[in-house]
Amino acid sequence: MAKGLDTKTTILEIALEQVRKFGFESLSIGELAKLVGMSKSGLFSHFKSKELLQVTILDYAAENFILKVIKPGLKLERGLPRLEGIVQNWLKWSSSHKHGGCPMTAASVEFDDRPGIVRDATKKHLTALVNSITRSITLAVEEGHFKADTDCNKVAFELYSNILGLHLYQRLLSIDDSKKMFEQSVAELFNRQKA
Amino acid sequence: MAKGLDTKTTILEIALEQVRKFGFESLSIGELAKLVGMSKSGLFSHFKSKELLQVTILDYAAENFILKVIKPGLKLERGLPRLEGIVQNWLKWSSSHKHGGCPMTAASVEFDDRPGIVRDATKKHLTALVNSITRSITLAVEEGHFKADTDCNKVAFELYSNILGLHLYQRLLSIDDSKKMFEQSVAELFNRQKA
């Protein structure tokens, strides 16, 4: 059982690396089998189908994100300090993967028009993420850091939008000062809500 | 010659539709040949390789975008009216494709880690787009609609980020009021720059 779990984690790490670089569509069970040095049927016994493999990769990526970005934030003071901490963890997390983009963003673009379990899993994880950001913003209102009439959903939308913008500006466009523009925009966004 | 051009446009329309739904990676010349009712070798004579087909689709999408979003904006008064017009055209353009997302956003996520002519073409078109938005913002400063110290690059970053956010919120997450949040965020962004 323990061995089975370790093997699965190893496979998922390699699969995630591939997905970061090449997206979900181009990852076949056959190609992954070659990369991990297993037989195609051995890999099938772990994941049953390409779609289940894709969902398992998404679940694994979400679990990692929560562990590295959200959970350490929960140790910080509720409200603005926690919100700022999560943004900083998020920045660190994105720049720790030099050779590949965000798997969840890749899935959101690849599957937004393809109904099925992969789209459902992507939607579930990203909805949870939006809810988690919105909750942190709501706490900043409750703690008196942000104004009582703050539109928490809109602040979450703007924050998430800036993260998507940073991803594009840094990874594809290599625009100077992307990170500086992002940090300034987010600092101003938070300043505008301050009580 | 005219016939050749028409055939190419027909193929590109069908290819673009596929790319909007399923992304670039899953579009093979063989599959496209079936969809347009041509032989694989006939299709190869038009595009030479999968990469050249992908680049031609991107060029075609960019041409359409300029025709529908940027050019009509140029007829409006320089400065803020033109900038607001372009944002409105952009919104209309995105919602006119009900069954598929933005091909340029798909390419930006699929190819950001894959050096080659497709990544180069995506980067070229999106850099031109960022430059075009930034130019419209600069004109709003020159016309005295926006403050002289407006950080035009940062305003372009925030505007583009909100467009990416809207794409995710509407197409995948189906979050209520996505369009309303987007329009309010952009109106506030422009208001903050007003002279």
Angle at A17 between CA A116 and CA B126, to 5 degrees: 75
Task: Calculate how close chain A gets to B151, using CA atoms only, in Å.
Answer: 10
Q: What was the pLDDT predicted at A2?
A: 47
**Which one of B23, B113, B160 has the shortest CB-CB distance to A21?**
B113
Calculated CA dihedral for residues A58, A61, A67, A68, nearest 10 degrees? -140
Does residue B165 sit within a domain?
Answer: yes
Percent of chain B with pLDDT over 90: 67
Gap between the Cα atoms of B167 and B179, Å rounded: 10
Interface of B with A in 128-157 (CB under 8 A): 130, 153-154, 157
Supply the ipTM of this predicted assembly: 0.92
Both tokens assigned to A125: 């994880």
Q: pLDDT, tens digit, for every residue of A11-65?
A: 999 999 888 888 888 788 888 999 999 999 988 888 888 899 999 999 999 999 9
Q: For residue B9, is it within any domain?
A: no
Residues of A in Cβ contact (< 8 Å) with B161: 158, 161-166, 185
The domain total for chain A is: 1
Chain A, chain B: beta-carbon pairs less than 8 Å apart: 132
Of residues A121 and A106, the one with the higher pLDDT is A121
Residue B3 covered by a domain: no
Model pLDDT for residues B117-174, shown as the tens digit of each residue? 999 999 999 999 999 999 999 999 999 999 999 999 999 999 999 999 999 999 899 8
Domain CATH number, residue A145 = 1.10.357.10
Say how far residue B21 (Cα) sits from the centre of its chain.
Answer: 15
A153 and B182 in contact by Cβ < 8 A?
no
Sorting pLDDT into bands at 50, 70 and 90, what band is B1?
very low
B159 within a domain of the structure (yes/no):
yes
Please indicate, yes or no, if residue B1 is contained in any of the structural domains.
no
Is B126 contained in some domain? yes
Coil/strand/helix, residue B149: coil
Residues B28 and B78: their CA atoms lie apart, in Å, by 43
Identify the band that residue B2 occupies on the pLDDT scale cut at 50, 70 and 90: very low
Q: What is the pLDDT of residues B76-97, one digit of tens each?
A: 999 999 999 999 999 998 877 7
Boundaries of domain holding A80: 50-193
* Closest approach of A2 to chain B, Cα-based (Å): 34
Assess if residue B15 is contained within a domain. Answer: no
Q: Give how far A16 is from chain B: nearest CA, Å.
A: 14
Is there a domain that residue B43 lies in?
no
Indicate the pTM of the whole model. Answer: 0.93
Residues pairing with B146 in the sheet: B194
